[in-house]
Chain A
Amino acid sequence: MEENNTRVGVFICDCGMNIAGSVDCEAVKDVAAAIPGVVVAMRNKYTCSDPGQEEIKKHIREHHLDRIVVASCSPRMHESTFRSCIADAGMNPYLLEMANIREHCSWVHLHDKPAATEKAKDIVKIAIAKARLLQPIEEAKIPVTDAALVIGGGVAGIQAALDLADAGHKVYLVEREPSIGGVMAQLDKTFPTMDCSICVLGPKMMDAGKHPNIELIAFSEITKVAGYIGNYTVVINRKARYVNELECNSCGKCAEICPVTVPDEFQQGFSSRKAAYIPFPQAVPASYIIDMKNCLGNNPVRCNKCVEVCEKKCIDLNMADREMEIKVGTIIVCTGMDVYDPTVLDEYGYTRFENVITTMEFERLVCGGGPTEGQILRPTDRKVPRRIGFIQCVGSRTANRGNPYCSNVCCMNTIKDSLLIKEHHPETEIFVFYMDIRAYGKGFEDLYRRSKEEGVHYIRGFPGEVLEIPGTKNIKVRVENTTTCKVEEYELDLLVLSVGLHQDAGLKKLCNLLNISLTADGFVMEAHAKLKPVDAPTPGIFFAGSVEAPKDIKDSVTQASAAVSRSSIILNSAFIKADGVKAVVDLEKCTSCGMCARICPYNAIEVDVKAKSGARVIIAACAGCGACSAECRFDAITVRHFMDDQILSQISSALATDPQNKIISFLCNWCSYAASDVAGISRMQYPANNRFIRVMCSARVHERFIWHAFKLGAPLVLLSGCHIGDCHYITANHSTQKRADKMWDAMEKLGIRPERLQLEWISAAEGPRFVHIMKELEKMRKAVTLEEIEYTRKMLSSMGDAN
């Protein structure tokens, strides 16, 4: 072993009576002072306070300390505080190790001072052992391209683009359709204000089209994304419009002369458009487009009328798709959602009965720019319907065809629709068939009340069956009014299905390109549901709007501005600093097998297996989980600040005395360690025989750590991490499961009881469960005999260095 000349300073905190009340801090200090390498050990009443921190800085200077151990609360509490403190005194901030003698000791062993003190001594020794092996780490500076990509030009994308552009950043706004505007452009009015939707959106669309900082790339799709935070390279396919959008002045002559008529998707198929068309009057870009799928062909013998009649000569039927490459620092995904198609629910008769329509279709009927110029006429006879019904939750809140979640906006949308109908025709009878009315937002309950004031009937119950009356084509519904428990029948002129929302069909493909995950509901997954609602787990990617979950315009706009704010933190700096805990490769040992690259949840490792290039870690993309390091067969990759020798020294220190009475537990920073802290904060009591080793992710735990613990006489080892599916590092804990399976097989073959290695998934909230597990472990430990431990020690020692 190398000479270790580090000079360690140990600062033991009383924390008032929080620690000193159940731990003999003086005794702990004395033990620490006697350890080789410890230059100074002292007690402090409140180490995190200003005077406490000043003490540390003073001692660093006076004693030329180069490694610091603070024995106090949880590192999740004050690690950053003390790192800043020692950095202030001129030390590298990563040369600090904390010994958690509060949440892990004094608070959970309140009634057994001797045991708590012994444990505290151990915890401090473990921290000192690691501290002596810590290395300084320089946080890498990652240059940032000051540009952003916004994918999707609905209201969320438009808002995000405008905010970014106004803040002075260059924005590429990519939209799949020929015009921006999204679903909002198709709505008539918005709740709860009853604003005209396109009137409000139109000016924003124009601003987005004109803004000097926004490059609007419409009718285009993303085909490739490479890079990492601050440095993305994106390839965009600009589909051919066959019209020069900069020259087109929207005269409309091409549409007039075009002989091809197809259903107009903007009008939900109620009216038609030509193959040469503009999506809607307020379209941005304000240019016509040739629908090449339906165009008769650009052979002059078949047609060519549009080209002939275009005065500005801006139609080019020989246009081809073009590719463009852009470089951006951040990406904001605002691709929106799609509307549920209720055809498969044949009990509702959609597409079988013409007078059954969806809310989206209703929106076009009632809209002034719609196929009936805003008159509410029903499809079969174009008469004004006198009795209109709405069925809520179509395709939502169900396991039986549709989606299990609530689509958020449908209740308010129907309330809005009911008021629009009453505005047009006050004598119309309106029946809303619902399960719950969710009017949770600002002004929502008021709108609901207004609707009831206007005499709209709300009937709690869903129709089981919808029938068409031959002749009149009226619609009959049978419904149990669950408030009166009576089955009722209603004859309606028009039935509107309030359909739910779901992910857009192209989302999966986009997410693969961006390497972001979807939740079970099919929407994008946030980094943290509560505290990071617009961040993707992959750094540098954000989202806003209904791509994240169905939501209304206000929430979409709010999220867009939030995403811009998060994005600006990156774009506003020329450089961003990467956290120091990163994977690092030893190229001499690396065989370019590619295992690390395969296991990395962030695609942060590049290896050319054929060329034997050696693994290369993309610092900016690496999250520091350590899955690569535990997977590597050649010890060629490790994680700074959680290196093998550091962790092994912690285990050795923990088991130096009385190993047979100790349980070694590996806790992951984000979940199981957090749970252990919660248990401490709640003052839940459990046996004092456990020694915790903190790792960032359970996937970091190499088999050799566990063999080492058994070799040194540990009766029991706990491996714990986040629940599968909740891993902070996306999928890293899957490799933990695989490793545990392998270990159990190996243990069995060696004659070691596999139950001596326990695997538990514990979430950050599960403090009580953590305590229960600690108690169970102690029971299990007592059942491990000295003979077993001795047998294991001999067996593993004779095998030499395990794995």
Chain B
Amino acid sequence: MAELKDIIRQTKAQFCLDCGKCTAVCPVSRFDAKFSPRLIVRKALRHPDKIYADENIWSCIGCNMCTVRCNYNVSYVDFIRYLRMKSRENGTEPVFSHAGVPESFMHLMARKETKQNRLGWIPDDVGIDTSSGTAFFVGCAPYFDAIFQDIGVRATDSSIGAMRLLKAAGISCNVLADERCCGHDLILSGDLSGFLDLGHANIEEFTNRGIKKIIVSCPECYYTLKVDYPRYFNDWNFEVCHITEVPEISQISRHTDANGSVKRKVTYHDSCKLGRYFKMYDGPRNLLNSIAGVELVEMENNRENAVCCGASPWMYCGSINKQVQDERLRQAGSTGAEMMVTSCPKCQIHLTCAQKSHDNAAEDIRIVDMYHLLSQSLARKEKD
């Protein structure tokens, strides 16, 4: 593993001016007075021996707001990821949420011997093309279905929606029978070896199936495959593309309501990865606007300023995360929209979980996945 001084150089941590902008915009700092991105870096630089035992390093939700505001774009998230890796290396065990189930199944997938039965959610009319050199990657989606049944979120609805869109656009994809979790959550929680195992298994699967190009819809999978895999794996040479980047997708024609437009107000929640990290703000909005009858309204904090869904890599999920989620739900409610559209399965899961765990009538907004919504509008058109 890299040394602390290498990480400092890579993340530009020594450029920190201690101006405090990062803390002022951090959603966690808002509700947790002890947390400050710059203080973590300061403590790490001054007391490297003590930092790994500091519990604050587990509070970051990885939204990147700090880096975007920082005068020198210091990469706090990368820094914290490194601290977590070192901390776990030293034996720290984080407290996992949801009884550690997501983490466990990710580890199961990391085992080479694991043979999965994971394609059952694909409807017959959608189908897959096993000879295609392009794969549509779904990662953990089938597993999330099982875990989050109780809050009514089916992550595979998003995958199915995306696959319907790809089919309508004339792009035939394979969905691999034995792909694994991309590893985003494991590496973000500091489990480097688990991540590496998953990566190796995935690379083997892609290679064996003759895959050249990978299309993803989940922003975290996109980030992991596009940025982290080349960083950590020398044998990674697959093309990775986000579904909104596929040109044919944006040209899918609209659904026209027969009695003229019935206006549906929706608001779009930017995912931190797709938004602040990759700066893809317009692609999803253009797609939503292409659904006739949709009136897109923006929340108070949108695009670069969007509030995170409060995601954590399935650990230490607590009151701070809930408060961040509440803030986002409140903003969504204030727009008067009937639905909040997400483009990330995590956003949908976390916000829905927060919504369901409270008794807040004002937050009675439907949280709908974008690809599911788009594919539904397609289906209606075909019926016409």
Q: Which residues of A contact B (CB under 8 A)?
A: 346-347, 393, 397-400, 435, 460-465, 478-482, 485-487
Residues in B whose Cβ lies below 8 Å from that of A481:
20
> In B1-26, which residues have CB < 8 Å from any A CB?
15, 17-26
With A480-B29, A480-B36, A486-B33 as contacts: A399 and B21 at CB distance below 8 Å: no
Q: Identify A465's interface contact among B24, B71, B73, CB under 8 A.
A: B24
Is the Cβ of A461 less than 8 Å from the Cβ of B25? no
Q: Is the CB–CB distance between A480 and B72 below 8 Å?
A: no
- Are the CB atoms of B72 and A400 closer together than 8 Å? yes
Q: Is B173 an interface residue (CB 8 A)?
A: no
A464/B23 contact (C-beta < 8 A), A480-B29, A482-B18 known: yes
Q: Which of A347, A393, A400, A479 contacts B305 (CB 8 A)?
A: A347
1/0 per residue, CB under 8 A from A, across B53-79: the answer is 000000000000000111111000000
Known: A435-B17, A435-B18, A485-B39. A480 touches B71 (CB 8 A): no
Q: How far is the CA of A180 from the CA of B22 in the complex (A)?
A: 43
User: Which B residues are in CB contact (< 8 Å) with A347?
Assistant: 25, 69, 305
Question: Does B69 contact A480, Cβ atoms closer than 8 Å?
Answer: no
Query: Could you tell me the distance between the alpha carbons of A528 and B36 in the complex, rounded to whole angstroms?
Result: 43
Q: How far is the CA of A346 from the CA of B304 in the complex (A)?
A: 10
Min CB distance B43 to A, Å, is: 11
Q: How far is the CA of A461 from the CA of B21 in the complex (A)?
A: 7
Contact partner, B21, options A460, A464, A485, Cβ 8 Å: A464
- The answer, yes or no, to whether B366 is at the interface (CB within 8 Å) is no
Please determine whether A398 and B36 come into contact, CB atoms closer than 8 angstroms: no
CA distance A791 to B69 in the complex (A): 63
Q: Give the CA-CA distance A480 to B33 in the complex, in Å.
A: 10
Contact A400 B36 (CB under 8 A): no
Q: Are A464 and B69 in contact (CB under 8 A)?
A: yes
Decide: A462 near B19, CB < 8 A? Known: A398-B71, A487-B24, A487-B30: yes
Q: Which residues of B contact A465 (CB under 8 A)?
A: 24-25, 305
Count the B residues whose beta carbon is within 8 Å of the partner chain — how many?
25
Are A487 and B23 touching (Cβ within 8 A)?
Answer: yes
Q: Which residue of B lies closest to A434 (CB)?
A: B19
Query: Which residues from chain B contact A486 at a C-beta distance below 8 Å?
Result: 33
A462–B20 contact, CB under 8 A? Answer: yes
In the complex the two chains form, is A487's CB within 8 Å of B305's CB? Answer: no
**Interface contact A462-B21, CB-CB below 8 Å:** yes
Tell me whether A487 and B29 are in contact (CB under 8 A): yes
Within 8 A of A (CB), among B195-212: none
CB proximity of A338 to chain B, nearest CB, Å: 21
Indicate whether A400 sits within 8 Å of B70 (C-beta atoms), given known contacts A464-B25, A480-B29.
yes
Distance from A401 Cβ to chain B, minimum over Cβ atoms (Å): 9
Given contacts A463-B24, A464-B24, A485-B36, contact A399 B73 (CB under 8 A): yes
Q: Are A478 and B19 in contact (CB under 8 A)?
A: no
Of all chain B residues, the one with the shortest Cβ separation from A486 is B33
- A399 with B36, Cβ < 8 A, contacts A435-B17, A464-B22, A479-B24 known: no
A397→B24 contact, CB < 8 A: no
Assess whether A487 is in contact with B33, with CB atoms less than 8 Å apart: yes
Shortest Cβ distance from B255 into chain A, in angstroms? 34
- Chain B contacts for A393, CB-based, 8 A: 19
Q: How far is the CB of B242 from chain A (nearest CB, A)?
A: 25
Residues of B within 8 A of A463 (CB): 21, 24
* A481 and chain B: residue at smallest CB distance: B20
What's the Cα separation between A393 and B71 when bound, in Å? 10
Instruction: Please measure, in the bound complex, the distance between the C-alpha atom of A397 and the C-alpha atom of B72, giving whole angstroms.
Output: 9
Complex Cα gap A434–B124 (Å):
62
Give chain B nearest CB distance to A300 CB in angstroms: 51
The answer to whether B17 touches A399, judged by C-beta atoms less than 8 angstroms apart, is: no
Known: A399-B71, A465-B305, A482-B38. 11 other contacts (CB 8 A): A397-B17, A460-B20, A461-B20, A464-B23, A464-B24, A465-B25, A479-B20, A480-B21, A482-B23, A486-B33, A487-B29
A393 to B17, CA, bound (A): 12
Inside 8 A of B305's CB, which chain A residues have their CB?
347, 465
Contacts of B73 in A (CB 8 A): 399-400
B19 and A435 contact, CB distance less than 8 A: yes
Q: How far is the CA of A393 from the CA of B70 in the complex (A)?
A: 13
CB-CB under 8 A from B36, the residues of chain A are 480, 485
Is there contact, CB below 8 Å, between A480 and B70?
Answer: no
Closest beta carbon of chain B to A38's beta carbon, Å? 59
Complex CA distance for A647 and B73, rounded to whole angstroms: 52
A486 to B29 alpha-carbon distance, docked (Å): 9
Which residues of the partner chain A approach B23 to less than 8 Å between Cβ atoms?
A: 461, 464, 480, 482, 487
Q: How far is the CB of A46 from chain B (nearest CB, A)?
A: 51
CB contacts (< 8 Å) of A398 on chain B: these are 71-72
A398–B71 CA distance with the chains assembled, in angstroms: 4
Closest A residue by C-beta to B31: A487
Determine which of B24, B33, B39, B304 lies in contact with A462 in the assembled complex, contact meaning CB atoms within 8 Å.
B24
User: Which residues of B have CB within 8 Å of A478?
Assistant: 24-25, 30
Task: Decide: A397 and B30 in contact? CB cutoff 8 A.
Answer: no
**Which of chain B's residues 287-342 have a Cβ closer than 8 Å to chain A?**
304-305
Q: How far is the CA of A480 from the CA of B69 in the complex (A)?
A: 13
Closest to B37 in A: A480
A399–B19 Cα distance when bound, in Å, is 14
In the complex, the chain B residue whose C-beta lies closest to that of A399 is: B72
Contacts of B70 in A (CB 8 A): 400
Residues of A within 8 A of B68 (CB): 400
Contacts of A460 in B (CB 8 A): 18, 20
> A663 CA to B64 CA in the complex, in Å?
55
Are A400 and B24 in contact (CB-based, < 8 A)? no
CA distance A465 to B24 in the complex (A): 7
Q: Roughly how many angstroms separate A465 CA and B327 CA in the complex, as a whole number?
A: 16
Nearest Cβ on chain B to A139's Cβ, whole angstroms? 51
Chain B residues within 8 Å of A487, by CB: 23-24, 29-30, 33
